[in-house]
Amino acid sequence: MRKSTGSLLALLATVGLFVAPAAAAPVPAKPFPAVLDLPNGFSPEGIAIEGRTAYTGSLANGAIQRIDLRTGVATQFAPSPGPGKISVGMDIDRFGRLWVAGGGDGGPLAGILGGFRVYDTKSGAKLADVPVPEAKFVNDVTVTRDAAWFTDSADPAALVRVPIGVNGKIGAPRKIMLGGEWVPGGAINANGITATPDGENLIVGQTAAADGGAALYIVPATTGEVVQARKITLRGQLESADGLVLIARTLYVITHHGVIEVRLDRQLTTGNIIGISEVPGAAFASTGAVFGNRLYVVDANLGENLSNIGNPDAAFKIVAIPVP
């Protein structure tokens, strides 16, 4: 009697003469590198991430590197914009444009032409290069739907607001004074800045508060000449503050010695300092940006008295640390 193929296979399997081919084992995905090396002498400070691509700019000459987070490979995105130009904080808007703070002569670097620049992340084209004469040191930036907000770190109490139209048109910058509970402190005042997800409020870090250590403020993102800052009451000591990264109600405060985790309440007016995370191998952490469950932290490695800025023998990198 002729057996069907199915019956024959069943019989062979029963007597142990047939072995089904083993399924191919899944190939594990290669993990993204935890350390992204940058060219010696590059001197990074700020960082912005769009998709799987990071951008960081140079304190030495303003050039910008683009890094593939999957491979860790860094390539030039934009050349130096010219003598006296640097790149500090950066952020990316909803139109795919990279906003770059340009420092100024009122900060720690002499001879710097302050202001900001805007680049197209797709083509690399420089779309705007705008001076802000009334600003002293344009340091960090966060972008909402209708404006880019910059900190002016060398001014005792000021931000810079640049309107963004519904069609993406970039308006004229205007200095905004910090009032309310803001108290001018030391040489570096408003430094890191980030916006709440709805764009209604800003969180501003003050590096050198008047009463010692650092401070955090909640600031309404309004258009008046003076905005009423409210100091965030912290449980625990905040010794320093540079870059700020907000994830839900957890604020990561990047300092030169690590990343401080602050849990904020629903109104963002009080916060618990949970602890500090080391950035492995970093000499001087400056700021960070999030991709997935990682915080990518810039090692600015400034050196003693800023001696590593532009030093061709100094090494620089971005280090990824896990976040919940």
Is residue 126's pLDDT more than 50? Answer: yes
CA–CA dist 183, 165 (Å, integer): 32
* Residue in this structure with the two tokens 């800003």, named with its chain if needed: 202
Cβ(145)–Cβ(159) below 8 Å: no
End-to-end distance of the chain based on CA atoms, in angstroms? 66
* Residue in this structure with the two tokens 């108290």, named with its chain if needed: 183
Is residue 22's pLDDT more than 70? Answer: no
CA–CA dist 114, 96 (Å, integer): 23
Q: What is the pLDDT of residues 294-306, one digit of tens each?
A: 999 999 999 999 9
User: Pairing between strand 174-180 and 226-231?
Assistant: parallel
Is residue 7's pLDDT more than 50? Answer: no
* Cα–Cα distances in angstroms (integers) from residue 96 to residues 48, 52, 214, 316, in the given order: 11, 14, 33, 26
- Provide the percentage of residues in the chain whose pLDDT is more than 90: 86
Q: Which residues of 93-105 are buried (b: 16+ CB within 10 A; e: fewer)?
A: beeebbbbbbbbe
Q: What is the pLDDT of residue 31?
A: 87
Q: What is the DSSP string of 120-177?
A: ETTT--EEEEE--TT-S-EEEEEE-SSEEEEEETTSSSEEEEEEB-TT--B---EEEE
Determine the residue type at 154. Answer: A
Q: How confident is the model at residue 281 (pLDDT cuts 50, 70, 90)?
A: very high
Q: What is the pLDDT of residues 135-158, one digit of tens each?
A: 999 999 999 999 999 999 999 999
Instruction: Specify the pTM.
Output: 0.90
CA–CA dist 312, 17 (Å, integer): 69
Is residue 11's pLDDT more than 60? Answer: no
Indicate if the alpha-carbon torsion angle 43, 299, 70, 24 is positive or negative. positive
- CATH numeric code, 74-240: 2.120.10.30
Cβ(151)–Cβ(192) below 8 Å: yes
Q: What is the pLDDT of residue 108?
A: 86
Residues in the chain: 324
How does the average pLDDT of the chain come out, rounded?
A: 92
Q: What is the pLDDT of residue 63?
A: 98
Cβ(175)–Cβ(134) below 8 Å: yes
Is residue 16's pLDDT more than 80? Answer: no
Residue 45 in tokens: 């400070």
Is residue 2's pLDDT more than 90? Answer: no
Q: What is the pLDDT of residue 324?
A: 80
Is residue 191's pLDDT more than 70? Answer: yes
* Cα–Cα distances in angstroms (integers) from residue 20 to residues 9, 16, 32, 96, 263, in the given order: 10, 11, 36, 52, 55
Q: How confident is the model at residue 52 (pLDDT cuts 50, 70, 90)?
A: very high
Q: What is the pLDDT of residue 28?
A: 54
Determine the residue type at 288. Answer: G
CA–CA dist 252, 117 (Å, integer): 26
